[in-house]
Amino acid sequence: MNRTLTTILPALAGIVLLFSTTAAAATACTNGVVCNQDYVESVSAEPSFAIDDIMGVFGHVFASLPDRVRVYPTENYFYFTFGYGGLTYAGNMRLDVKDRDAGILHFAYFNKLESWNGEVLTRYRPLSRADGVTVEKVAALLYRVTFNGKSTLFALNDLGDVQPPPGQIGEGEEYLGPVFDESGLQFYLLFHKRDRRFMFVLNEAGPKAEDLLAYSDGDPSILVGMRTGFAFYRDRYLDRKILIGVYADNVENNNYFDGPFDQLPDNFLKGDMLKDAILAVHPDLEGEIDRFGNFRSQEGRYLVNPYVNYSYLGDLEAFRRCGDAQLTRAAYYRCLQPPETD
């Protein structure tokens, strides 16, 4: 989730609630249960730091972390939320592939967005030894972050062995890498050079993380996630589900369910595969992006979102035309792309 395309300030509405030492002493719920008690005590806490003091906020968040955390999303964001002054703030710590080995930890936070509110405060800062924050590489995809005498190991998600099953990569498609979205869903990122199309295919090999229901009793091809709102299309040629849409309000609110555009397989990209794919779609970007798709002359990253943002389930009606048996294979896959990428 990002505020502007894939800028440096992604965040989300989350479930990790951080507490002030002045909050009522109580045992938080465990075993995956998130209790209202925790939420109420978070938003009514009276922290001792100023909300616009970046290092004060960082110290509060970092002090709450255990000795080891796991970073699931593949763009290496560790997300959190905390309460302050009657608001919920969302944020992240990011060990970006481009500068984590140089000792940089990116830190951002802002008030959590909802459809009825607006931005009150946003803060971002890359932290380093100059700020009293040290980042040390312990092993591949394992980093130790230390601040004020406390250390936490950040275990980045090792998906190096993840491969699509036989029969899930179509003719002319290449596999760019695995995607683990902050929603908990996993994908295979594919690209077809001749057709110049990206595609997120649902990875169903792991534990079930979504309950998909048919959009219509009369059309089992379109499926919608009960939890995430992600919309998929059952491929007529291969046994796979292609992401075709995400709910627009989730994109606007920058939450867990805003789509996998901001969780590309950074740790697992081989050479210039992603860059070459982007240039195949937009040759005018030659010299303007690096191998990760980051713009060289400005903040942000090329937006890989080969799906629509729908506001109503009825918006998915447009994909019914993809069921036309008269469509050629190439036309069929073009039908599953957003109109602007045709």
Query: What is the DSSP code string of 190-206?
Result: EEETTTTEEEEEE--SS
Q: What is the mean pLDDT of residues 283-306?
A: 94
Model confidence at 340, pLDDT cuts 50, 70, 90, reads low
* Strand duo 105-111 + 87-94: pairing: antiparallel
Q: How many CA atoms lie within 13 A of 319 on its CB side?
A: 29
User: Which residues, at least 6 apart from 334, have a Cβ–Cβ distance to it below 8 Å?
Assistant: 195, 197, 342
The residue written with tokens 């499926």 in the block is 223
Is residue 146 located within the same domain as residue 220? no
List the one residue out of 322, 112, 294 whose CA is nearest residue 219. 322
The Cα 341–Cα 210 span in angstroms is 28
Is residue 136 located within the same domain as residue 193? no
Please state the domain count of the chain. Answer: 2
Residue 122 maps to a domain: yes
Is residue 328 located within the same domain as residue 197? yes
Residue 134 maps to a domain: yes
The Cα 241–Cα 226 span in angstroms is 15
Could you give phi then psi for residue 111, rounded to 5 degrees? -65, 140
Is residue 182 located within the same domain as residue 297? yes
Is residue 225 located within the same domain as residue 120? no
Is residue 193 located within the same domain as residue 318? yes
The overall average pLDDT reported for the chain is 90
Check: CB of residue 98 under 8 Å from CB of residue 292.
yes
Helix (H, G, I), strand (E, B) or coil at 232: strand
Task: Determine whether 288 is exposed, middle or buried from the number of CB atoms within 10 Å of its CB (0-12, 13-18, 19+).
Answer: middle
The Cα 31–Cα 19 span in angstroms is 19
Check: CB of residue 254 under 8 Å from CB of residue 1.
yes
Last residue of a domain, one of 156, 182, 207: 156
Least confident of 24-33, 131-140, 172-181: 24-33
| pLDDT tens-digit series, residues 230-282 | 999 999 999 999 999 999 999 999 999 999 999 999 999 999 999 999 999 99
DSSP string across 268-295 = G--TTHHHHHHHHH-GGGTTTB-TT-BB
Residue 130 maps to a domain: yes
Tokens encoding 263 = 């969780």
Last residue of a domain, one of 156, 186, 216: 156
Q: Which helix (H) or strand (E) holds 156?
A: strand 150-156
Residue 81 maps to a domain: yes
| pLDDT tens-digit series, residues 103-134 | 999 999 999 988 899 889 999 999 999 999 99
Is residue 177 located within the same domain as residue 100? no
Instruction: Tell me: pLDDT of 27 over 80.
Output: no
Rounded percentage of the chain residues whose pLDDT exceeds 70: 91
Is residue 38 located within the same domain as residue 108? yes
User: Which residues, at least 6 apart from 276, have a Cβ–Cβ distance to it below 8 Å?
Assistant: none
Residue 3 maps to a domain: no
* Strand duo 150-156 + 77-84: pairing: unpaired
Q: Taking the complete model, does pTM exceed 0.95, yes or no?
A: no
Is residue 128 located within the same domain as residue 272? no
**CB neighbours (10 Å) of residue 231?**
25
| pLDDT tens-digit series, residues 195-239 | 999 999 999 998 999 999 998 877 799 999 999 999 999 999 999
Residue 164 maps to a domain: no
Instruction: Tell me: pLDDT of 75 over 60.
Output: yes
Residue 320 maps to a domain: yes
Is residue 150 located within the same domain as residue 190? no
The Cα 289–Cα 280 span in angstroms is 13
Amino acid sitting at position 111: N
Is residue 194 located within the same domain as residue 330? yes
Is residue 76 located within the same domain as residue 127? yes
Instruction: Tell me: pLDDT of 16 over 70.
Output: no
Amino acid sitting at position 257: F
Last residue of a domain, one of 87, 121, 156: 156
Instruction: Tell me: pLDDT of 292 over 60.
Output: yes
The Cα 76–Cα 95 span in angstroms is 6
Residue 244 maps to a domain: yes
Note down the domain range covering 212. 173-341
